[in-house]
Amino acid sequence: MVFVSDSLLLQIALNLLGFVVGLALGIFSYIGFKNTGSPTLFRLNISFFSIGIGFGVVGFGVMIESFVLNYSQVDSWIQTLGIGIQTVGYFFIAFSHGIKSFFPKSRYFKSIIMPLFIIPGNSLEHIIRSISFILLVYGTIETIMSYMENRKRSTIFVAAGLGLLALGEFLGWYSVVFPKSILYFVSLSTKIAGLGALFIPISQVPLRGGMKLGGSV
C-alpha cells in the first residue's frame, strides 16, 4: 500500500469538512425555500450544494486515488474539477445580489484583478480560482453596502463569510503559483471558516422566513 503523508490526510480531512458544512448550508437553504418559496433561497440552495459537492469531489477523489487505487500522486484534474463546481456555487451567490456584468466597469478595479489572468503559466485551475475570487469580492462588496443601509447584524456574518471565502480563493490562487506550500491548507481552512460564518444567518432562515444575502426579503 502506498504511504499516505500527513499533508495528504489533512487535505482529505479539510475537504470532507467543507463538504459537510456546504451540504448543511444547502439543506437549511432548501428548508427555507420550501417554507417561503423565496427564489433567493432557491439560488442559495444551489450555491451551497455546489460548494459542498466541490469540496466532496476533491476529498473523496483524493481518498479513492490514495487508499483504493494506491496512486503515488493524485491527479490534478480532481482539484480542478472540485474548484470548478465550487465556482458554480459562487456564481449563484453573486447572482443572488443581482449581478449586472461579469467584469466591473471601474478601470481601477480592472487593473487589480486582471493580473490574476495574465501571469505566465496559467493553468485551468488558476483561471477558475481567479473567476471565483472576482465573484466573491463582488458579493462581499454588495453585502457590505447592504449593511450600510439596513444595519442588520446577520448581514455582518454574511459579509464576513463571503470575505473569508474570497480570501481563501485568493490564497488558493497563490498556492497554484507556489505549489507544495502551506498556503493550500490555509486556503481550505479560511474557506471553511467563511462557510461557518454563513452558517449562522442561514441556519435561522427556516425559523424566521426568507432572506437574501444582504438581509430579509
Interval 102-156: pLDDT, tens? 444 445 445 545 555 555 455 777 788 888 888 888 888 888 888 888 778 778 8
- Report yes or no on 1 lying in a domain: no
Tell me, yes or no, whether 88 lies in a domain.
Answer: yes
Say if CB 176 and CB 125 are below 8 A apart: yes
Per residue in 2-57, pLDDT (tens digit) is 445 778 889 899 999 999 999 999 999 898 888 888 888 888 899 999 999 999 99
Compute the residue count for the chain. Answer: 217
Residue 199's domain comprises: 6-210
**Cell numbers placing 100:** 449586472
Is there a domain that residue 216 lies in?
Answer: no
CATH classification of the domain holding 183: 1.20.1070
Q: Exposure of 76 by Cβ count < 10 A (0-12 exposed, 13-18 middle, 19+ buried)? A: exposed
Record the cell numbers describing residue 133, joined without a space.
475570487
